[in-house]
């Protein structure tokens, strides 16, 4: 009897393998950066995949997990960080054998090969889906880049943000393609392709075109060379002759300025000594950061109305955590609510003096803390940079960043971050409270409105605002 059962199981498995297969698109799936896309995958003939294991992985990223459905639920603890909150399978379609993946807010870095793998107790199969992401770049820019020895005018044409690589051509007024003297093409995983051409022209009062094109898109800029441009080259020849005469005068001026230079050297020396003294003073201050900075401690509570729909603020306003579904209040979100960036700000704003707060980041592997100006953008995609009104310290991909594009090297992983703002001195500083060490400071900033504490985090957490600062 046991032998018969085993034999039936084997026969059933062979039958499933012969009768069913996983199918996908025969051609690459095309989409545009910023849009949502469906990666097709299904079982043929249609059978229910509700009780099966459905796994989507990136083949070109060492089989990294994009999405996993198993035991009737999504299990994305090992999901790639860049896909967090952007993937889903259609639960209502699994009964029909449809295991397609929806990928939201597509990025250029999403382009690649995806494998849809489906497994039951007695059968498994997979199919590969090729995703191509198209991004339309920025309008080309033409700049004048000097002259050559014969009086030719160097024109440089550049455009950024394209995917796939576009064609860049330079044309004269009659539409004739001009040969590029130098070509530079660069690809960034985030911003796509940048292309740059250099040509030399000799005709005045002539229109030149710079054209960037892909299959479905084209952008063009033009420049008209005037006689004044070439006149500057001829003038330079005259200026060289005049310079010979002026050099004699400059020698006399040089002698007169020699003493001024010596005084300047002394001033620089004094400035260096002052900076060194300030640095030593700062080191002494950092050594006692707990006692000195907490004199300026303020009570910070979170403004729940400003939080992204996936961020949940505690009742007392001291904690924020990430939840992998949109909160119901998204229906009533207002102008001050973050709708794409996973951020929340404090209730209290400050426009003078010094203020300080501490936040516990222990257990969170993706976070940003700092301050933002009152008028900073809260809608759409936001880069938390000073030029956008955000002064933050961040952790992501196991690296620390001060968002002036500076990667920081920390010997100890902070568990509690102190944020200190001196409004009058236009300074924002960050400290590791446990080791009482200075991490980074933004200096010489421009503050002219209220500053609010700001927090951002991913699926780990929560972030806890500390109250024990007395």
Residues 42 and 129 in one domain: yes
Q: How confident is the model at residue 267 (pLDDT cuts 50, 70, 90)?
A: confident
Residue 276 burial (C-beta neighbours within 10 Å; 0-12, 13-18, 19+): exposed
User: Which of 81, 100, 134 is at the close of a domain?
Assistant: 134
- What would the mean pLDDT of 18-30 be, rounded to a whole number? 90
Residues 33 and 73 in one domain: yes
Residues 149 and 175 in one domain: yes
Q: Residue 461: inside a domain, yes or no?
A: yes
Residues 319 and 457 in one domain: yes
Q: Residue 430: inside a domain, yes or no?
A: yes
Range of the domain at 211: 141-225
Residues 62 and 122 in one domain: yes
At CA 75, angle to CA 72 and CA 76, rounded to 5?
150
Residues 383 and 405 in one domain: yes
pLDDT tens readout for residues 409-467: 888 899 999 999 999 999 999 999 988 889 999 999 989 999 999 999 987 779 999 98
Q: Give the pTM.
A: 0.43
Q: What is the CATH number of the domain that holds 217?
A: 2.60.40.10
Considering its fold, how many domains does the chain have in total?
4
pLDDT at 354 over 70: yes
pLDDT tens readout for residues 208-234: 878 888 777 788 887 777 655 555 545
d(Cα 149, Cα 164) in Å, to the nearest integer? 37
Residues 450 and 402 in one domain: yes
Residues 439 and 294 in one domain: yes
Q: Residue 60: inside a domain, yes or no?
A: yes
Residues 190 and 86 in one domain: no
d(Cα 469, Cα 340) in Å, to the nearest integer? 33
Whether cis (ω within 30° of 0) applies to the bond prior to 42 is no
Give the pairing type, strands 124-134 and 29-32: parallel
- What would the mean pLDDT of 1-30 be, rounded to a whole number? 63
Cα separations in angstroms, 446 against 238, 256, 349: 45, 39, 16
Q: Residue 6: inside a domain, yes or no?
A: no
Percentage of the chain exceeding pLDDT 90: 49
When the pLDDT of each residue in the chain is averaged and rounded to a whole number, the result is 83
Residues 313 and 395 in one domain: yes
Whether 407 contacts 395, CB under 8 Å:
no
């Amino acid at each position: 009897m046991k032998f018969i059962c085993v034999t039936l199981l084997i026969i059933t498995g062979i039958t499933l393998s012969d009768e069913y297969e996983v199918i996908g698109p025969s051609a690459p799936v095309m989409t545009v950066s910023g849009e949502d896309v469906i990666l097709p995958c299904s079982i043929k003939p249609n059978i229910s995949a509700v009780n099966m294991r459905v796994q989507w992985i990136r083949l070109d990223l060492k089989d990294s997990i994009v999405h996993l459905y198993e035991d009737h639920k999504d299990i994305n603890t090992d999901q790639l960080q860049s896909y967090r909150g952007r993937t889903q399978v259609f639960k209502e379609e699994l009964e029909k054998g449809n295991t397609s993946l929806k990928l939201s807010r597509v990025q250029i870095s999403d382009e690649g090969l995806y494998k849809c793998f489906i497994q039951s107790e007695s059968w498994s199969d997979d199919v590969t889906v090729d995703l191509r992401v198209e991004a339309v770049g920025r309008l080309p820019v033409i700049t004048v880049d000097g002259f050559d020895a014969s009086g030719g005018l160097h024109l440089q044409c550049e455009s950024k943000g394209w995917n796939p690589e576009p064609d860049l051509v330079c044309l004269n007024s009659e539409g004739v393609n001009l040969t590029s003297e130098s070509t530079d093409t660069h690809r960034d995983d985030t911003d796509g392709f940048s292309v740059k051409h250099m040509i030399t022209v000799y005709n005045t009062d002539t229109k030149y075109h710079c054209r960037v094109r892909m299959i479905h898109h084209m952008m063009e800029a033009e420049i008209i060379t005037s006689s004044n441009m070439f006149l500057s080259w001829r003038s330079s020849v005259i200026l060289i002759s005049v310079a010979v005469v002026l050099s004699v005068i400059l020698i006399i001026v040089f002698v007169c300025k020699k003493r001024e230079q010596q005084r300047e050297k002394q001033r620089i020396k004094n400035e260096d000594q002052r900076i060194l003294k300030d640095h030593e003073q700062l080191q002494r201050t950092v050594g006692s950061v707990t006692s000195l900075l907490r004199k300026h401690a303020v009570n910070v509570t979170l403004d729940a109305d400003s939080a992204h729909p996936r961020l949940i603020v505690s009742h007392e306003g001291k904690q924020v955590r990430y939840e992998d579904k949109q909160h119901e209040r998204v229906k009533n979100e207002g102008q001050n609510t973050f709708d794409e960036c996973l951020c929340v700000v404090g209730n209290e704003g400050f426009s003078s003096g010094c203020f300080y707060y501490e936040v516990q980041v222990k257990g969170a592997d993706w976070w940003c803390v700092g301050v933002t100006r009152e008028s900073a953008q809260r809608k759409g995609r936001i880069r938390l940079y000073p030029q956008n009104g955000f002064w933050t310290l961040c952790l992501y991909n196991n690296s620390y960043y001060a968002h002036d594009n500076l990667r920081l090297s920390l010997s100890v992983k902070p568990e509690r971050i102190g944020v200190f703002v001196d409004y009058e001195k236009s300074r924002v500083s960050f400290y590791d409270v446990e080791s009482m060490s200075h991490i980074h400071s933004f200096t010489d900033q421009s503050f002219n409105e209220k500053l609010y504490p700001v927090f951002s985090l991913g699926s780990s957490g929560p972030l806890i605002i500390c109250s024990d600062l007395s």
